[in-house]
């Protein structure tokens, strides 16, 4: 069992990983930089802006400089369990930021279980998240371990908003999670993870309806969603299935969970010539903005929860680090593999994200 505030970050030099490292330092944790590329890890630890990941524009400033300088480096690969054990030695927890998570999640979870420490990841890959729940739920519960998959913008945030919207309802008929992104410039990690998911899924897509996940061969519908102002009504891709359809049904009795994405963002993320995110402020964030609109319906009643903010990759850092802090301080409601809304006080968690995220909750 680890102690103190030392946290291993696997994939620390990636685009999201560097935001996580910076957030850990800001919150008083001591990150241990880990991943397969020793040169990139050393560049990040040496505080050379942009050197750790030349494909991420100027966002290397996020965790380079003061945030990355002087931190311990422990290279490791997922096909070498001994190297993972060394990377996690003495750590209080591990955060996995390295996609594709279909390759990295299981080996890191195994290492966390051997070390007796919590595991959190930022996976948006549906198949990887499904694998985590299917493979580790019983083992983690029996061990009293905490494993938190999809603790990110996709998965974690939508799950928390849906849980907060439910409030004192024990069941609901349907949940709708609509994403309005003004743009979506994918990182190299997003593209790699998407490629793995497509390879596993083929031409099929997933949706959650009638209490189960099903594969569909038809194209998803395009419709209009009435987002709150200042976004307003926008064309969206319906059944644009994200990690929320994996996390929400694990703990909320809602038979139909549907996610939506603004049409322009859906087109950008798959276009081969869309550039990677470019930093536009001192924190390394891009100019991308988001609004997440969650509507839960039960009978004739409806409840809504809304979140707004900037840069879906950058905002993943306060999400996963807040989750880490709550796990390490015992502010949890479950053990085993658990989604954010099951594990934490959803409304309190969301309010704790200020100033990174602005929320409007029922009541």
Please, what is the angle between helix 188-201 and helix 263-270, to 10°? 90
Domains annotated for the chain, with CATH where assigned, are: 6-153+317-343 (3.40.50.720), 156-312+354-360 (3.30.360.10)
Which of the four pLDDT bands, split at 50, 70 and 90, describes residue 197?
confident
State residue 55's pLDDT score: 37
Residue 235 has pLDDT above 60, yes or no: yes
36 close to 121: Cβ distance less than 8 angstroms: no
State residue 49's pLDDT score: 44
Give phi and psi for 146, each to the nearest 5. Answer: -115, 120
State residue 2's pLDDT score: 47
Q: What residue has token string 């002087």?
A: 70
Q: What residue has token string 């309005």?
A: 180
347 close to 340: Cβ distance less than 8 angstroms: no
Residue 50 has pLDDT above 50, yes or no: no
**What is the number of other CB atoms lying within 10 angstroms of the CB of residue 275?**
10
Between residues 325 and 57, the one the model is more confident about? 325
pTM comes to 0.94
Query: Which DSSP string corresponds to 133-158?
Result: HHHHHHHHHHHT-EEE---SIIIIIH
State residue 47's pLDDT score: 78
Q: What is the dihedral of CA 251, 253, 256, 262, to 10 degrees?
A: -50
pLDDT in tens, 321-339: 999 999 999 999 999 999 9
Residue 203 has pLDDT above 90, yes or no: no
User: How far is residue 208's CA from residue 340's CA, in Å, rounded to a whole number?
Assistant: 19
DSSP bridge pairs for 296: 175, 303
Average pLDDT, the chain: 93
Query: Which DSSP string corresponds to 69-85?
Result: TT--EEE--TT-HHHHH
Q: How many residues does the chain have?
A: 363
* Percent of the chain residues past pLDDT 70, beyond the cut: 93
Residue 1 has pLDDT above 80, yes or no: no
In three-state secondary structure terms, 4 is coil
Q: How far is CA 85 from CA 36, 89, 92, 117, 354, in A?
A: 14, 6, 13, 11, 35
Span 232-243, mean pLDDT? 96
State residue 67's pLDDT score: 58
In three-state secondary structure terms, 230 is coil
DSSP for residue 248: G
């Amino acid at each position: 069992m680890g102690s103190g505030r030392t946290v291993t970050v696997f994939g620390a030099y990636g685009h999201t990983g560097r935001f996580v490292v910076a957030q850990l330092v800001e919150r008083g944790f001591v990150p241990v930089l880990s991943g397969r590329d020793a040169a990139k890890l050393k560049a990040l630890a040496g505080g050379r802006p942009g050197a750790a990941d030349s494909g991420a524009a100027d966002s290397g400033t996020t965790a380079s400089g003061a945030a990355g300088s002087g931190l311990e480096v422990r290279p490791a690969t997922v096909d070498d369990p001994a190297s993972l054990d060394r990377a996690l030695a003495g750590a209080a927890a591990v955060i996995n930021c390295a996609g594709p998570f279909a390759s990295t999640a299981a080996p890191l979870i195994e290492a966390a279980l051997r070390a007796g420490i919590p595991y959190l990841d930022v996976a948006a890959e549906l198949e990887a998240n499904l694998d985590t729940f299917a493979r580790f739920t019983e083992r983690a519960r029996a061990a009293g371990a905490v494993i938190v998959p999809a603790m990110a913008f996709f998965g974690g945030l939508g799950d928390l908003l849906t849980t907060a919207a439910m409030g004192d309802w024990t069941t609901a008929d349907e949940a709708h999670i609509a994403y309005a992104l003004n743009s979506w410039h994918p990182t190299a990690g997003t593209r790699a993870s998407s490629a793995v998911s497509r390879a596993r899924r083929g031409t099929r897509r997933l949706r959650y309806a009638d209490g189960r996940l099903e594969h569909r061969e038809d194209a998803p519908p395009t419709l209009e969603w009435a987002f709150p102002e200042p976004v307003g009504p926008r064309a969206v891709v319906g059944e644009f299935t994200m990690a929320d359809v994996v996390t929400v049904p694990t703990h909320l009795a809602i038979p139909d969970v549907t996610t939506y994405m603004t049409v322009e963002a859906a087109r950008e993320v798959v276009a081969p010539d869309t550039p990677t995110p470019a930093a536009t402020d001192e924190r390394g964030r891009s100019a991308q903005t988001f609004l997440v609109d969650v509507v839960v319906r039960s009978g004739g009643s409806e409840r809504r929860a809304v979140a707004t903010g900037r840069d879906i990759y950058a905002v993943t850092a306060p999400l996963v680090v807040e989750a880490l802090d709550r796990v390490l301080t015992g502010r949890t409601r479950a053990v085993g593999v658990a989604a954010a809304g099951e594990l934490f006080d959803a409304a309190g968690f969301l309010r704790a994200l200020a100033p990174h995220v602005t929320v409007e909750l029922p009541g």
